[in-house]
Amino acid sequence: MFVSWRCLYRVSWHSKHSALKFAHFPRVDYLFTKMSKGVPNIDLGNGYTIPGLGYGTYLAKQGQGIDLVKKAIDAGYRHIDTAFLYENEVEVGEAIRAKISEGVIKREDVFVTSKLWNTFHHADHVAEAFQRSFDMINLEYIDLYLMHSPMGLEFQGYEYSNMQPKDSDGNALFSDVDYVDTWKAMEKLVKSGKVRSIGLSNFNSEQISRILEIAEIKPVNNQIEVNPGWNQKKLIEFCRSHDITVTAFGPMGRPHRATYGNKTALGDPRVLDIGKKYGKTDGQVILRYLIQLGTIPIPYSTKEERIRQNIDVFDFSLTDEEMQYMDSFQSERTLPFPPLKKHKYYPFDAEF
């Protein structure tokens, strides 16, 4: 069976690794063979692949992480996203090890992403910060390690309590460390063998270009906010043109918080109707939209039914007209980092 995937990638399946490989072609529709409801693996261009959808753990509260990640793995997720900032790396690692012990998965079956926090940008702090995440996750290696943002903050220590340095007036304390120097330090982590791939998060096109100019090891991924209200098409295309995959955080538009004018597609009557056409929920339609944009969504939910629904999005395809309607929600990003607006490397003033 063939279905149309309206995106800028040509996709091909590799039976050995079940890899979905992207190449660059003009803006036309390409066809791919739909193999199953399973999540395809996307080629990172460095010998490794990343599952095309993951489970995000940003909002997983302490005490929840183990159970939620176990449920995600049982539901079929093989891509788990965490970060030092989330304070749940220990629980994420424990859940994965438990599922390995149960024989549900092998280490090589699951893709784990973590991130270097902003206070650790100085080259002298990168290795120690990574080692702490590595030890907390406690697996043989980390698949992907991202620089959480281009904006460094003042280093005050390696504890969770040191993550948000502020002056006496409550203003964020910036560091002026150039993220290019941070990247060079991150490249050494790959050479250590403890992390397989490195990448970026919240970087704009100009900042990515600076990294590419000096990179000995190129970034394979940029994790950014993408949802119907902020679809980032230009940045996605830029990343694609440089063989950089895009992970989409906040795929539902972050309905749990103030969204700065972001228009949500959740609950929209026509989106609900589109879902009914395919036997899907509005959330599943949104995730399918993001997949057809060429991103890797990492939805989060505490509800087991929703966790299962969120991964069941590879057995249908939106039409061109439906994609255009989803585009109509374009409005504002939900996470503009207001406290960091004056930072030297603030990424959101560029066009994309």
AA identity, residue 216:
E
Q: What is the structure's pLDDT at 24?
A: 36
Is residue 116's pLDDT more than 90?
yes
Model pLDDT, residue 54? 98
Quote the tokens at residue 307.
Answer: 């966790």
Let me know if residue 126 belongs to a domain: yes
Is 134 part of any domain? yes
- How would DSSP label each residue in 232-293? -HHHHHHHHHTT-EEEEESTT--TTS--TTPPP-TT-HHHHHHHHHHT--HHHHHHHHHHHH
Number of domains the chain contains:
1
| 113 located within any domain | yes
Say which DSSP state 52 is in.
S
**So what's the pLDDT on residue 61?**
78
Asked if residue 15 is part of any domain, the answer here is: no
Q: Which domain holds residue 88?
A: 42-257+293-301
Q: Is the pLDDT of residue 214 over 70?
A: yes
pLDDT at 259: 64
pTM: 0.90
Q: What pLDDT, on a 0 to 100 scale, did the predictor assign at position 156?
A: 98
Q: 113 with 81: CB under 8 angstroms?
A: yes
Q: What is the mean pLDDT of the chain?
A: 90
Q: Residue 344 and residue 176: Cα distance in Å, rounded?
A: 7
What is the distance between the alpha carbons of residues 315 and 37, in angstroms, rounded to a whole number? 5
Structural domain contains residue 153 = yes
pLDDT value of position 63:
87
Q: Are residues 308 and 283 in contact, defined by beta-carbon separation less than 8 angstroms?
A: no
* Torsion angle of the four alpha carbons 270, 274, 279, 280, in this order, in degrees rounded to the nearest 10: -80
pLDDT cut 70: percent of the chain above it: 88
Tell me the C-alpha to C-alpha distance, in Å, between residue 42 and each of 1, 117, 197, 262, 286.
Answer: 20, 26, 13, 29, 20
Q: Which amino acid is at 1?
A: M
Looking at the chain, the whole-number percentage of residues with pLDDT higher than 90 is: 85
Place of tokens 């791939």: 197
Residue 330 lies in a domain: no
From the CB of residue 337, how many other CB atoms can be counted at a distance below 10 Å?
15
Report the interhelical angle of 205-214 vs 233-241 (nearest 10°): 10
- Catalytic residue (choose from 86, 300, 325, 346): 86
| Tens-place pLDDT, residues 160-207 | 999 999 999 999 999 999 999 999 999 999 999 999 999 999 999 999
Active site residue 86: yes
pLDDT reading at 27 higher than 80: no
Instruction: For residue 214, give the CATH number of its domain.
Output: 3.20.20.100
Please say if the pLDDT value at position 235 is more than 50: yes
Identify whether 220 is part of a domain: yes
- Is 115 contained in some domain? yes
Q: What is the pLDDT of residues 306-344, one digit of tens each?
A: 999 999 999 999 999 999 999 999 999 999 999 999 999
pLDDT-derived band of residue 266, with 50, 70 and 90 as boundaries? Answer: very high
Asked if residue 270 has pLDDT above 70, the reply is yes
